[in-house]
Amino acid sequence: MDSLVGGDGSPGGGGGIPYLSDWGTAAGRRYQYYLDKAMPHMLRRWAALCAVALVYVLRVGVFVQGFYVVSYGLGIYILNLFIAFLSPQVDPEIQELLDTGANGDGGPLLPTRSSDEFRPFVRRLPEFKFCVSGVYKEAMKLHPAEMNSLLGFQKGGPQEL
């Protein structure tokens, strides 16, 4: 009966949850540490993205010759990231309509305070997040293709032993 009571007197053992939470926190900190270390290395990030993409294309297109639906979804996701990477944070046409309604003269607004900085182009998705998301998703999509080949499943079904 004592095993059902936690250390603080609350019902339930509660022994496993804090350890999992601590492990998850430590893993998140370690992941953030490596992301912070990778931040200044732009060329290496793009090289990693290209390398993972090449491994995925070779794995799915040449060796497994399957997973086309998964590849199609991955392509749409990467295209969505790319569009967000090339898009401005604020749409100029909508901003122009909002500015015209504010002052009535129809011209562009100049900064009026020192905190108003002129920024000609601010990306909706920063380069770092584009690379990290691309590498993460491609690695995640590579995993099912790898697991099927390790388990012996190919295009025609399980292999004969």
In contact, 100 and 90? CB cutoff 8 Å: no
Do 72 and 143 sit in the same domain of this protein? yes
Residue 67 is assigned to a structural domain of this protein: yes
pLDDT digits (tens, 9 = 90+) for 66-111: 778 888 888 899 999 999 888 887 776 676 666 665 555 555 566 6
In a domain, 161, yes or no: no
Residue 32 is assigned to a structural domain of this protein: no
135 and 79 assigned to the same domain: yes
Q: Give dist(CA 99, CA 110) in Å, integer.
A: 11
Q: Are residues 113 and 54 in the same domain?
A: no
34 found inside a domain: no
DSSP state of 4: G
Q: Residue 111: which domain range?
A: 92-121
Q: What region does 157 belong to: left with phi over 0, alpha with psi -120 to 50, or beta?
A: left
Crossing angle of helices 127-151 and 42-57, rounded to 10°: 30
Q: Are 83 and 49 in a shared domain?
A: yes
Within 13 Å, how many C-alpha atoms sit on residue 40's CB side? 1
Same domain, 80 and 141: yes
Residue 105, C-beta contacts closer than 8 angstroms, at least 6 positions apart: none
Residue 112 domain-assigned (yes or no): yes
Q: Check whether residue 100 and residue 129 sit in a common domain.
A: no
Count of domains observed in the chain: 2
52 and 80 both lie in a single domain? yes
pLDDT reported for residue 35:
83
* Structural domain includes residue 18: no
Q: What is the pLDDT of residue 66?
A: 73
Q: What is the mean pLDDT of residues 25-51?
A: 88
Q: What is the average pLDDT value for the chain, to the nearest integer?
A: 74
Q: Are residues 100 and 78 in the same domain?
A: no
* Residue 22 belongs to some domain of the structure: no
Same domain, 68 and 132: yes
Contact by Cβ (8 Å): 45, 129:
no
**pTM, 2 dp:** 0.60
Does one domain contain both 106 and 54?
no
- 11 three-class SS: strand
Q: Is residue 6 part of a domain?
A: no
Q: Are residues 83 and 56 in the same domain?
A: yes
Confidence of residue 161 (pLDDT cuts 50, 70, 90): very low
Q: Identify whether residues 59 and 81 lie together within a single domain.
A: yes
